[in-house]
Amino acid sequence: MEIRQLEALNAIVTSGSVTAAGRMLGRSQPVVSRQVSDLEAELGFTLFTRTRPAITLTEQGAEFYQEVRGILADLHQLESRVQGMRNGQVRPLRILVSVDLARSLLPEALARMDRFSPVFRQKLIIEEVVHEAPAGALAEGRADFALINLPIDAEGLRAHWCGQAPCLLALPAAHPLASRDMVQLEEIRNTDVITLLSRYRMRYHLTSSLAQATAGEARRHIEVGSQQTALSLVRLGLGVALIDPFSIRGAQLDGIVLRPLQTDISYMIGAVSQATHELPEGALRLIQGLHLHVQSSIPHYVDTDPSGLRQGISSKAEILRSA
């Protein structure tokens, strides 16, 4: 399998025809056709349904093309980086950030750091990811570190810092409980609830806490994929939601009241990297700056070890304290 064959496949899909693909690549039509035919012979299945004038991917072809797109994107990125190395450009910093944090806490922290001491000289690449993605991406060297919610089921990762803070209950401003200084979960038994999809452990923790508090009661339940969506629904009076204190930074809260809960339901985040990879100075400075920002701006934040235990408290002591 050759790169030129993959380029021919990509050009045909992008341009819509073999003729246009040839023009795009600077190759003759027969050459492009032969490269795709050779690729099909090597793969053992047909890539295209050839019906004039259209040319469309087969089911197997479409699946294969999704893999090819990623490979070609990585190659183009590598070519760009090599060119930068020739020109003496500084290596860009790359970080992975869970979606909610990328749209709230991270921009706020970067702006704060940039006012005093910029942490990157030329280029910073921020990739928004779901919870499961960082472990594989870090192992493959596609990023320097990840800022994500914890815990995460993955080996070979190093936690540079991690900590937790109590969640808040988001209520419509007109809700009867909005006037309370603190709310008990038992008080929302008859209230429609909005929870986050249980795609990973910490979100499951929030979802189950709220769902258990209202179990057996006559109410509706809405599941959403992000805290921004949850807040929009709360604002319109469609229910109440548990919100983590990190993702709420910078959110529009008009029509919404946030109240602490008497029951401590904590949410944990942290900065992690591949244990075997040595981080550049800029990445370490950015990790430290994020940590300092979280410590100074998130109410009731405490540093913990990756298991969720507060620093300075042994596992045995914690067990005894909570017994």
Distance CA 84, CA 92 (A): 10
Query: Which has more pLDDT, 256 or 242?
Result: 256
Choosing from 244, 264, 284, the residue where a domain stops is 264
CA distance 159 to 305: 8
pLDDT class of 320 with cuts at 50, 70, 90 = very low
Pairing of strands 302-303, 157-166: antiparallel
Domain boundary among 86, 114, 145: 86
Average pLDDT over residues 94-117: 88
Same domain, yes or no: 225 and 309: no
Digit-coded pLDDT (tens) for 203-224: 545 556 665 655 555 568 888 8
Tokens standing for residue 105: 């806490």
- Pair 280, 159 in one domain: yes
Q: CATH number of the domain that 129 lies in?
A: 3.40.190.10
Range of the domain at 281: 93-164+269-322
- How many structural domains comprise the chain? 3
DSSP state of 2: -
Please indicate, yes or no, whether residues 22 and 44 belong to a single structural domain of this protein.
yes
CATH number of 64's domain: 1.10.10.10
> For residue 225, what are its two tokens?
């994929």
Q: Are residues 53 and 99 in the same domain?
A: no
Is the model more confident about 154 or about 4? 4
Contact yes or no for 193/171 (Cβ under 8 A): no
Q: Are residues 42 and 160 in the same domain?
A: no
- Chain centroid to Cα 273, Å, comes to 15
What DSSP state is assigned to residue 261?
Answer: B
Statement to judge: residues 239 and 281 lie in one domain: no
| Banded pLDDT at 278 (limits 50, 70, 90) | confident
The DSSP string of 28-71 is -HHHHHHHHHHHHHHHTS--EEE-SS-EEE-HHHHHHHHHHHHH
Please write the tens of the pLDDT for every residue from 13-28: 888 888 888 888 899 9
pLDDT > 70: percent of the chain: 81
Q: Are residues 201 and 317 in the same domain?
A: no
Which of 86, 119, 154 is the endpoint of a domain? 86
The 10s digit of each residue's pLDDT in 87-100 is 666 678 889 998 88
Q: Which of 129-133, 174-178, 251-255 has the lowest mean pLDDT?
A: 129-133
Helix, strand, or coil here: 103? coil
